[in-house]
Chains A and B, each alone.
Chain A
């Protein structure tokens, strides 16, 4: 089955700096890769996703890149703000089924 690794497990950045979180997956058939943000006491919320037919996707300060050959994808957050502090999860799935989540990255943005 699919296995998703995520690094780093914790990340601290200064406000205004960029943050990068990386994930690798094992099943080359996976074709959908969402990123979720989980704030304290809340459920995970989708922030961006990418499909296997696309190499990069951007939404304002957030971007995701996908390297299918290497089976890894990354989340990039630019101009970080304190409200970006949360736990971020990557996931891999095949057509939205059998989501497998990474273990999460706790991002702290220091003012």
Chain B
């Protein structure tokens, strides 16, 4: 009964490859997010998505694209992987997209991506 789950937990791949990370939440939340945590533990939001609106952090390269097959899933696709993409990627979800009473975000366990 995990709230926010991600697969895989570890991903090791070669530079130039295309990979995907999957995220699922069973909390019935409306909004999902992707974060990148670098080696210094700094958390930076990449995307937020609530099935109506995709908000992209303008600093995220367009090699990264979120795909949402339904409200409970938000997958992250990465094309042409680069060494600098190595990081831990966290998926999160929250009940409301803004203006709601509960703004809390719930995080998944993370996916450690290593690009060789």
Contact = CB atoms under 8 A, between A and B. Distances in A.
Contacts of B106: 46
B110 A42 contact: yes
Classify the interface of chain A: helix, strand, loop or mixed.
Answer: strand
Contacts of B103: 32, 34, 93, 95-97
Contacts of A94: 98
Interface size class of B (residues with CB under 8 A): 20 to 34
Interface in A30-87: 32, 34, 36, 38, 41-46, 49, 87
Contact of A45 (B33, B94, B102, B107): B107
B104 interface: yes
Given A34-B103, A99-B33, 13 more contacts: A32-B103, A34-B105, A38-B41, A44-B43, A87-B41, A89-B43, A94-B98, A95-B99, A96-B94, A96-B105, A97-B103, A103-B40, A104-B43
